[in-house]
Amino acid sequence: MNPHDVVEVISNRANPGIDPHLHVWGWEIPGYLFLGGVVAGLLVLLAALELTRKRRPTSGAAQWMPLVAIVLLSLGMGLLFLDLANKEHVYRFYTTFQPTSPMSWGSWILLLVYPALVLLFLSGLDEQRRDALVAWKPVARLRLARLLRWAMAFGDRHRRGVVWLSLLAGVGLGAYTGLLLGTMAARPTWNSGVMGPLFLTSGISTGAAVMLLTRLDPDETAALVRWDIMAIAVELVLLTMLLLGLSSGGTNAQAAASGFLGGAYTASFWSLVVMAGLVVPLILNVLEVKRHTRMTLFAPALVLIGGLALRAIFVAAGQAHVVGVLH
């Protein structure tokens, strides 16, 4: 039977969330993937700043950044929790490790990220800020001063290890958010090895954007703008590879590609992700470096919108196409 001569396919299945096409993941998962990506980016960038400058963060904003990451990650994990249909079983993620499941890897990576961020934060503070934190009233009331001092000293002793752990945890977190989707053979839009690197690179770019929205030292800003240019360029190459892979693939992949090339996601993908999220901020960043124009908040804001749009569009588009011509 030739699948191309199908006149009509009728199914009497109408399961909620499944039919007429999959829509089990709504806004919570893209929101989590975005926040997880930002945190991954912050981890990678903070580690990279320290390894290249060979000194701990100098600006106040860079010193507080790991705390911002902890807040964003907790928000993201809150979204993950909201998405669970069986919330009282959430502890089940941590009673087992399933090596074939990206989500299981992710849950354990998230647990690695927290101590990395806490140590990166506490031992990254300068003396003045350490004293202020320890003297802060809630810290005194909860009798946390000694614990904080111990953690700061521990972080100081193992600072290099903490920085490398942060880099590793950041790469793991960023890549897993893409691999989670990329390993699903049932969904041609997602099923690509490019998804891991793509989401990691996008995470680095959005992490840089969050940092560039704050008041950093000039040399920190200069490094971040330079790295953001590289991240955006790599992201454009990876997106091109993904689209080329889909449109030159089999019938399933081509059907998935058509979603971005004339189909339902064409307008949002090209305007929000490609133009607003990548091309325009890339031009602005390059102008800033070449012409020494003053840095504005415009480029980072666009990068954040693009990063969120990338995840929202991919989560939706992936669910719209299932493998198999007749389904």
Identity of the residue numbered 1 = M
Contact between 321 and another protein by CB under 8 A: the answer reads no
Largest CA-CA distance found in the chain, in angstroms, rounded: 77
Q: Is 206 in the site for another protein (CB under 8 A)?
A: no
Query: For another protein, which stretch binds (CB under 8 A), given 47-55, 61-69, 182-190, 274-282?
Result: 182-190
| Residue 8 falls in which region: left (phi positive, over 0), alpha (psi -120 to 50) or beta | beta
Under rule CB under 8 A, residue 107 binds another protein: yes
Q: Which of 44, 47, 53 minimizes the C-alpha distance to 206? A: 44
Residue 82 touching another protein (CB under 8 A) = no
d(CA 52, CA 88): 45
Q: Establish whether the linkage from the previous residue to 20 is cis, with ω within 30° of 0.
A: yes
Q: Does the footprint of another protein cover residue 111 (CB under 8 A)?
A: no
Cβ(160)–Cβ(128) below 8 Å? no
CB 168, CB 235: distance < 8 Å: no
- Selected range binding another protein among 8-16, 67-75, 116-124, 286-294, rule: CB under 8 A: 8-16
| Shortest CB 241 distance to another protein, Å | 21
Q: Which of 135, 140, 186, 287 binds another protein (CB under 8 A)?
A: 186
Residues 130-159, interacting with another protein (CB under 8 A): none
Stretch that binds another protein, among 158-166, 167-175, 185-193, 196-204 (CB under 8 A): 185-193
Of residues 2, 55, 142, 146, which one binds another protein by CB under 8 A? 2
Q: Which stretch binds another protein (CB under 8 A): 80-88, 195-203, 220-228, 294-302?
A: 80-88
Sites for another protein among residues 226-265 (CB under 8 A): 250, 252
Question: What angle in degrees, to the nearest 10, is found between the helix axes of 218-247 and 280-291?
Answer: 140
DSSP string computed for 141-154: HTT-HHHHHHHHHH
- For another protein, the binding residue among 27, 51, 74, 92 (CB under 8 A) is 92
Site string for another protein, 280-319 (x = CB under 8 A): --------------------------------------xx
The pair of structure tokens assigned to 261 is: 């090339």
In the complex, minimum distance from the CB of residue 203 to another protein, in angstroms, rounded to a whole number: 20
Burial class (CB in 10 A: 0-12, 13-18, 19+), 184: middle
Interaction between residue 161 and another protein (CB under 8 A): no
Contact status: 18 vs another protein (CB under 8 A): yes
Q: CA 164 to CA 167: how far, in whole Å?
A: 5
Member of 132, 185, 283, 297 binding another protein (CB under 8 A): 185
| Angle between helices 298-320 and 28-53 in degrees, nearest 10 | 130
For tokens 């300068």, the residue is 126
Of 148, 233, 301, 322, the one binding another protein by CB under 8 A: 322
Q: Which amino acid is at 179?
A: L
**In angstroms, rounded to a whole number, what is the distance separating the alpha carbons of residues 109 and 165?**
11
Q: Which residues of the chain form contacts with another protein (CB under 8 A)?
A: 1-2, 5-19, 22, 24-25, 83-90, 92-93, 95-96, 98, 100-104, 106-107, 180, 183-187, 250, 252, 318-319, 322-324, 326-327
